[in-house]
Structure 1
């Protein structure tokens, strides 16, 4: 499974790179802050919503600490998606968040 450090993702966003991000945390967690531009799909809904995603795009998957996003990455990789897990999750994120 591919991983990206939060600092590297932040560099990409600050350089205005187009990054497709999916936050798989629960709604109450996202309400406390989400990376601007990230799409919210709770982990429990990924198996039902993955058909709406574009297999030609690369996705960075985000959660609180990296565990749930790792599970989402495994599932999505099995469906043929190009995904990268943000290691350390939002606990290690030092960048901007939207509330």
Structure 2
């Protein structure tokens, strides 16, 4: 199994276990409350949305990955989304480690 598939599978597991935050407003609020440990930003999200979350991740020092499209992310978690916040340290560390081996 490729790292890409493993990453997407882990996103699905994180959703099933209740360790993701979805919805732009919810994710923004969670970032402000220092609850987000990792961000997934769809590469085909809107320009202003993409900029907003890239800027937030940099200013709050949150690692992120932005190379999957909306369809790949949505299929992994079972709902249509462009922004996903991971609020669990274990999942975040594992996803971040996987990202380093994908590029």
More helix by share: 2
TM-score range, shorter chain: 0.3 to 0.5
- TM norm structure 2: 0.43
More strand by share: 1
- TM norm structure 1: 0.44
